[in-house]
Amino acid sequence: MITNLLRVLALLIIVFSFTKAQGQQQSAGELHGNFQVDAQYYNKDSLIGAPVVPEKVLTNGFMNLWYTRGDFSAGIRYESYLNVMQGFDPRYRGTGVPFRFASYKNDNFEATVGNFYEQFGNGILLRAYEERGLGYDNAFEGVRVRYQPTRGVYLKGLIARQRTFFTLSPGIVRGFDAEVNLNELIYPNTVKKTIVVLGGGIVSRFQTDQDPIYNLPENVGAFDARLNVIRGKVNFLAEYGYKYNDPNATNGLIYAPGQALSVTTTYSTKGFGLLLAAKRLDNFDFRSDRTAAGIGANINFLPALTRQHTYNLPATIYPYATQPNGEMGFQAELSYKIKNGSLLGGKYGTEITVNFSGTNGIIKNPTSNDTLGYTSPFFKASNEMFFRDFHVEIHKKFNSKLKGTFMYLNWVYNKDVVQGLAGFGTIFADMAVVDISYKLAKRHTLRLETQALISKQDLGSWAMALLEYTYSPHWFVAVLDQFNYGNPNSDLQIHYVTGNAGYTNNGNRIMLQYGRQRAGIFCVGGVCRNVPASNGFSISLLSSF
């Protein structure tokens, strides 16, 4: 119904737009888009501390409309938060069209006005993106050009402000990036064994200084340099960033410069892979508003140097978050496939992944002038442990019907540092995951996932089980229980049970959910927010066209 309605609307827009096209024999272009609405009905649940929602029902709704015609493209995104669902930032309030753009592109030139997402290199200096599930969107609004003067040389430039909720953050961001693929430039017509790509960018933020107490820099500059060498099975990538004095809310208004370095080497061949990575961050929070805290107005992107887990307990109970004020980390991952037909490999082979990552703080020696902050030796980490993740993951297909994933994880998580709290200390946790799926018949699959988290600290131990039945390709139904059986407070040894059911067909998806979600305090950059517990019925509709 909704898709049909949208199609009619789309058609009307196209017809309306081109009735005046002067009889030229051109295609009318294409309109694509998607629509999503999430709604939840909130029940009272004093046991888990769910707040009373006066509206009873809260919804988040989105629609993207993207139009392309030849070299031209344009689009809008409408967003509606009536009122914004619990767990999202309440500054998403009301409705609007916060994203709209028009763009022209030919062989070597592209110009965009309006809103756009952009990334320089890996984003250490600049990255704008949307992560709807987190309510994160730092899209730029302004002008961007991309230009390829010759083969192998890619240039980008932008001047823009950034979206923060339904407004723009006060700073103006100017950025320029160049990337040179030496192979394409020097040997455009031959394939060389070694590929070398050099890159570099400059970003500067302007924000007026009206602070009566401090003399703040109005223009804050930063640059990065990148090197990527690929030879056969080896890929080496290094990126270094430097930021001039940028006193801001996250670093506590210090004038010290910031630095970031990230180095990754991978080796991969059939059945074997190795990844080694290291990084160092020092005072590298960079935003288009120096007073912004929490999420919002971020110019750059500093991902955690650890594996992003997808299994429920490792992904949600103690996830690590990058500490932009200073951290040093490493990651090593080895993946190996035991051959089919061998003793351990069995008929289908066995895949094993071993991963170890860790992050510590950096050493901060106070300076005589505390407005300058501190000095820090570049190649030394402090003894303060922020995070450790050691895990082994085994994928095994037993026969044509049965396959499984088995995982063991051992974590160290400094809750005080990662969440910006105090008094919780460091948490040691062991986790195990067993994920078995069994094909009952053609198109019918049953999957059972059991997980455990064993810890003596904080909220104690957890157990989790998920049973999912899929009738592919359209239907699925699942029940999930998170049980905090080890909570030191016996009243809080609660089952968080949710049931899900969904239907997917031709780019349309409807999902229903009923159950409880736990509460948590989330702190980012010195601002803490209580994401409340909830109990209720939710519905999610997604449609692409």
Partner 1 sequence: MKISISLYLALTIAAFSSCDKVEGPFGNTSSSNGGGDTTVQIIRKVLIEDFTGHTCGNCPRAAESLNQIENLYGNQVVAIAVHAGFFAEPTGTFFSTDYRTTIGNDLDVAFGNSAAGLPNGLINRKSYDGQTILQHTDWASKTSEWINLPPEASIRTTPTFDEGSRQLSISVKTTFLQQIDESLNIVYYLTEDSIQSAQKDYDLDAQYDPNYYHRHVLRGSINGAWGQVLGDGVSYTSGEELTTNVSYSIPANWNSSKVAVVAILYKTSNNEVVQVEETKIQ
Q: Provide the binding-site residues for partner 1, judged by CB under 8 A.
A: 89-91, 93, 108-109, 111, 145, 147, 149, 155, 157-159, 164, 166-168, 170, 174-176, 202-204, 206, 209-221, 244-245, 247-249, 253, 255, 290-294, 369, 371, 420-423, 521, 523-524, 526-530, 532
Alpha helices in 300-407 (DSSP H): 312-316
* In the complex, minimum distance from the CB of residue 350 to partner 1, in angstroms, rounded to a whole number: 46
* In the complex, minimum distance from the CB of residue 512 to partner 1, in angstroms, rounded to a whole number: 27
**Which CB atom, from 223 or from 406, has the smaller least distance to partner 1?**
223
Instruction: Name the 3-class secondary structure at 491.
Output: helix
Pairing status of strand 167-168 against strand 153-164: antiparallel
**Which CB atom, from 366 or from 507, has the smaller least distance to partner 1?**
366
Among candidate residues 225, 205, 194, 64, the one with its CA nearest the CA of residue 132: 64
Angle at 248 between CA 244 and CA 251, to 5 degrees: 90
**Which CB atom, from 229 or from 421, has the smaller least distance to partner 1?**
421
* In the complex, minimum distance from the CB of residue 296 to partner 1, in angstroms, rounded to a whole number: 10
**Which CB atom, from 93 or from 231, has the smaller least distance to partner 1?**
93
**Which CB atom, from 175 or from 358, has the smaller least distance to partner 1?**
175
* In the complex, minimum distance from the CB of residue 39 to partner 1, in angstroms, rounded to a whole number: 19
Distance in angstroms (rounded) separating the CA atoms of residues 330 and 526: 25
* In the complex, minimum distance from the CB of residue 337 to partner 1, in angstroms, rounded to a whole number: 46
Our measurement of the distance from residue 512's CA atom to the centroid of its chain's CA atoms, rounded to an integer in Å, reads 24
**Which CB atom, from 185 or from 531, has the smaller least distance to partner 1?**
531
Instruction: Name the 3-class secondary structure at 177.
Output: strand
Distance in angstroms (rounded) separating the CA atoms of residues 312 and 407: 12
**Which CB atom, from 188 or from 252, has the smaller least distance to partner 1?**
252
Strand boundaries in 363-507, DSSP class E: 365-366, 374-375, 381-397, 402-414, 426-441, 444-454, 462-471, 475-483, 495-505
**Which CB atom, from 215 or from 399, has the smaller least distance to partner 1?**
215
Residue 168 structure tokens: 């723009």
Residue 283 structure tokens: 């005072």
Distance in angstroms (rounded) separating the CA atoms of residues 505 and 523: 39
**Which CB atom, from 174 or from 439, has the smaller least distance to partner 1?**
174
Among candidate residues 223, 248, 226, 244, the one with its CA nearest the CA of residue 236: 226
Distances (CA, A) of 52 to 44, 177, 253, 275, 492: 6, 49, 38, 48, 19
**Which CB atom, from 150 or from 505, has the smaller least distance to partner 1?**
150
* In the complex, minimum distance from the CB of residue 516 to partner 1, in angstroms, rounded to a whole number: 18
Neighbours of 251 (CB within 10 A): 22
* In the complex, minimum distance from the CB of residue 291 to partner 1, in angstroms, rounded to a whole number: 4
Distance in angstroms (rounded) separating the CA atoms of residues 325 and 337: 39
* In the complex, minimum distance from the CB of residue 345 to partner 1, in angstroms, rounded to a whole number: 51
* In the complex, minimum distance from the CB of residue 413 to partner 1, in angstroms, rounded to a whole number: 17
* In the complex, minimum distance from the CB of residue 217 to partner 1, in angstroms, rounded to a whole number: 4
Q: What is the largest CA-CA distance in the chain?
A: 76
Among candidate residues 449, 456, 458, the one with its CA nearest the CA of residue 521: 458
